Amino acid sequence: MSKTIKHLVSVSFGMEDYNYDKIVEFGGEKFRITQYSTNFNLDSTLALIKKYDGNCDAFCISGIPSQITYGKNKYFTHPQSSKVKASAFETPIFDGQALKDIYIPYVLRKDIVARSNFYQGQSFALYSGALSRREAEVLSESGVSFTLADMYFFLKIPKLLKSLSSLNLLIGSLVPFMKKKTLRRSRLSLFSTNTPNMSEFFNNDVFVGTEASFNYIDLTHLKGKSVVLDMVTPQITRKFQAAGVADVSSLLDPSIGLDGLNFSIIEALIYLQSKQSELREKDILSWIESQNTKVHAIELSPKSVDDKSRFAFIIHPLSGEYLLKHPLLRKLPRSKFMTKMAEDAFSYMPGFYYGSIKNITSKKNGKTVEGLVYAVTETPKKLMQKNPESVYKKLVSLSYDAKNHGASIIGLGAYTKIVGDAGVTVNNRSPIPVTTGNSLSACSTLWAAKYAIDKLGFVPKEDGRYQGRAMVVGATGSIGAVSAKVLCKNWKEIILVAPRAHKLLELKEEILKLFPAMEIRIGTNPDEFSHETDLIITTTSGQGEKILDISQVKAGAVICDVSRPFDISKEEALTRPDVMVVASGEVLLPGEVEMKIDIGLEGDMVYACLAETALLALEGRYESFTLSRRIDYNKVIEIDRMAREHGVRLATIMGHNGVLTDEEFDLCREHALVKRESTCD
């Protein structure tokens, strides 16, 4: 006796002329699927359900809005959706939402890890965060910035949203309105490229939506773009190809779409195969585990390739004196009053494009990148006095301009990366990844320290380890902490100094886990240790305040001053000709670099944080490599490798008065020897 084939009736509410009746195989079992398209006709949809209710094994409904979440325990289901789902009395109805709630977040999270460059290196746009809520939440949790067009999608108002909290407020205010509106194709926004004030949305790189939504809208704006969607079908793939879409990432295996299946049908099939009275989560999980759960990237047409990648970087004046170099202010008298006036006045100006750095060429692969340099006009003092939110807005605005001019990543210079949460919020709001550059700053600090220590020659080495003491002032800061860890590889003893003792204890414990045999001392006052220390690295944000008494520093010591403005003033350095004060952190970029802008350094030298951004562009690593106040020790090792491979190297060692020559090192050594001999006497 032949086994009766179970029958599913699939109703596609948003499609027209997509009807079929066929046998499919699922999990080794055959099923009959009859597909009807009702083209937004509610009466036809209800009539079909009434006709087959009790005469089929499952209904599969697609194309109707799912339940919309707009906050904690806040949900909205359109009345027409509710009416459809409640219209069958004998046969169960499935809409695919239970399956999507598990499958989409799971597979998307996996893909963000597997293809981090794709997600961190591009700007994302969602037609409706409300209807693609699962995708929006995963992108948000993963730090991927995006733009939401829900105001245009639902109201045809060309205004964009940038966060889920803004989306929650919008949907909450629209619930009474949406309850009264019937679902019609004519009410859908088409996303035509000639829509006023929507250019920011269309300028994004990756567009996220549902297979259903892409069937309704004008696809012209997708030429050369990437698309991420829940599933692909042969029909939508042909439309994408005709529109010139570059590539498509399908969350569901495309072979499933070839059989005409969708999430609602799969959900019903899982239920029927389980032979249970209701759909269970364990059955959904079991099916997911049996699948090739990954995002399937399909290239449709090659993207236009720009042979020059671009990065961007933001600088600012390091003191009021820098502002007085402006052409309009050069003739003004130099005084504290004029400096303060310039600081106050310039702090209200918007950020602006300053110039470019061209022909940065990798010695590893010959790739050439160009840097777009932007500037904000606040000095360190003004940046730290301002409400962080106002600084964030200025930096994010520049990141959008950089993105529109072809930059794929942006770096924050000096105090722009100290304000607020050290780049985290700016990165979340920026259309391109943000890096603080502190990983390479830490590297270049240690490059300069090693060079100066070896040049003076006072600290002996055994088995590659300096037999002396190194002190880090500002050790609990981002650069200080990672510098201390790297120093442990090459020094016999290190001393950690910072204002908050409890943080020093935490850092010491952290370092001892990496280097259990290391000799480590901690303290809150550098003057307690400076008389016995061979290398001092200062990485504070003291804004020019005195952080140590240079008169107590050991003769022949090297002070590596990473802070900008300097922790050690020019006048203080002159009082100790027997101590070498190095202004570390400056490097040279590879290639025949063309730089016609003044960033406060001599020749073609650049700040290490700028060089990190350039390195990431040369490597094709468009990601938020360094963020927040903590630097990953492994990232420092990695950026050090990249620098060596691509040809970024330490510039000539700089002091307060410019390049430190061999003669100055010789003179410092002579003074130190005299001082040491007189101390012994």
Read off the pLDDT band of 73 (50, 70, 90): confident
Per-residue confidence (pLDDT) for residue 167, from 0 to 100: 94
Pick from 140-149, 187-196, 303-312, 345-354 the range whose average pLDDT is largest.
140-149
Our CA dihedral for 438, 444, 445, 449, rounded to 10 degrees, sits at 170
Name, in order, each residue with C-beta under 8 angstroms of 537's C-beta and a sequence gap of 6 or more: 445, 449, 470, 471, 472, 473, 480, 483, 487, 559, 560, 562
Which pLDDT belongs to residue 215? 84
pLDDT at site 441: 87
Q: Which residue has the higher pLDDT, 4 or 314?
A: 314
| Residue of 546, 534, 536, 601 lying closest to 572 (CA atoms) | 546
Nearest by Cα to 162 from 174, 149, 172: 149
Distance CA(266)–CA(102), nearest Å, equals: 13
Residue 452, pLDDT > 70, answer yes
Tell me the average pLDDT across 123-144.
93
Select from 555, 559, 552, 520 the least CA-distant residue to 536: 559
Note whether 34 and 91 are within 8 A (CB): no
pLDDT of residue 32: 95
Q: How far apart are CA 489 and CA 461, in angstroms?
A: 13
pLDDT at 338: 62
Answer whether 48's CB lies under 8 Å from 37's CB: no
Whether pLDDT at 327 is above 60: no
* Per-residue model confidence (pLDDT) at position 561: 87
Q: Which of 313, 433, 434 is nearest to 372 (CA)?
A: 313
Residue 53: which pLDDT band, with cuts at 50, 70 and 90? very high
pLDDT of residue 305: 42
pLDDT exceeds 90 at position 93:
yes
Which sequence spans correspond to the domains of the chain? Answer: 6-97, 101-258+286-299, 441-587+655-680
- C-alpha 310/C-alpha 292 separation (Å) is 36
Query: What does the DSSP assignment read for 147-166?
Result: EE-HHHHHH-----B-SHHH
- How does residue 307 score in pLDDT terms, banded at 50, 70 and 90? very low
Confidence label for 332 from pLDDT (cuts 50, 70 and 90): low
Over range 439-456, report the average pLDDT.
Answer: 91
Q: What Cα–Cα distance (Å) separates residue 7 from each residue in 32, 34, 58, 91, 592?
A: 5, 8, 7, 11, 70
The CA distance from 562 to 408, in Å, is 28
What distance in Å separates the CA atoms of residue 611 and residue 565, rounded to the nearest whole number? Answer: 19
pLDDT band at 306 (very low <50, low <70, confident <90, very high): very low
Residue 223: DSSP 8-state = T
Q: Which two tokens stand for residue 289?
A: 């585990």
Helix (H) or strand (E) holding 538: strand 535-538
Q: Looking at the predicted structure, is the pLDDT value of residue 253 above 80?
A: yes
> Which H/E stretch holds residue 509?
helix 501-514
Task: Output the CA–CA distances (angstroms, integers) from residue 436 to 90, 232, 312, 339, 443, in the order listed.
Answer: 61, 38, 12, 28, 14
User: Is 60 exceeded by the pLDDT of residue 639?
Assistant: yes
Share of the chain above pLDDT 90, in %: 59
| For range 369-398, the mean pLDDT | 91
Report helix angle 478-487 to 501-514, nearest 10. 40
End-to-end alpha carbon distance in the chain: 112
Task: Please state the φ and ψ torsions of residue 206, each to the nearest 5 degrees.
Answer: -125, 130
- The amino acid present at 555, given as its one-letter code, is A
In terms of Cα–Cα distance, which of 643, 130, 605, 583 is closest to 363? 643
Q: Out of 105-114, 334-343, 479-488, 614-623, pick the least confident.
A: 334-343
In three state form, how does the secondary structure of 9-25 look?
A: EEEECCCCCCCEEEEEE
- The average pLDDT across 592-606 equals 87
pLDDT category at 603 given cuts 50, 70, 90 is confident
CATH class of 441-587+655-680: alpha beta
371-381 per-position pLDDT tens digit: 999 999 888 88
Rounded Cα gap, residues 326 and 123, in angstroms: 35
Q: What is residue 196's predicted lDDT score, i.e. its pLDDT?
A: 86
Predicted pLDDT of residue 380: 84
Tokens for 94? Answer: 């499935």
In 38-185 the beta strands, taken as DSSP E runs, fall at: 58-62, 68-69, 75-76, 93-94, 124-126, 146-148
- How, if at all, do strands 491-497 and 519-523 pair? parallel
In eight-state DSSP terms, residue 612 is: H
pLDDT(141) > 80 = yes
Q: Alpha carbon 444 to chain centroid distance?
A: 23
Residue 304 pLDDT? 47
Report whether pLDDT(466) > 70.
yes
Q: Directed axis angle between helix 633-646 and helix 608-619, to 10°?
A: 70
Q: What CA–CA distance (Å, rounded) separates 163 from 428?
A: 9
pLDDT for the residue numbered 46: 96
Q: Determine contact, residues 51/191, Cβ cutoff 8 Å.
A: no
Same fold, 101-258+286-299 and 441-587+655-680: yes
Give the bridge partners for 536, in sequence order.
471, 559
Q: By the 8 A CB rule, do 190 and 217 touch? A: yes
Tell me: the pLDDT tens digits for 151-191?
A: 999 888 999 999 999 999 999 998 888 887 777 665 667 89
446 CB-side CA count, 13 A: 24
- Does this model's pTM top 0.75? My answer is no
Q: Which residues contact 502 (CB under 8 A, 6 or more apart)?
A: none
The CATH class for the domain spanning 101-258+286-299 reads alpha beta
Nearest CA-CA partner of 374 in 389, 359, 356, 391? 356
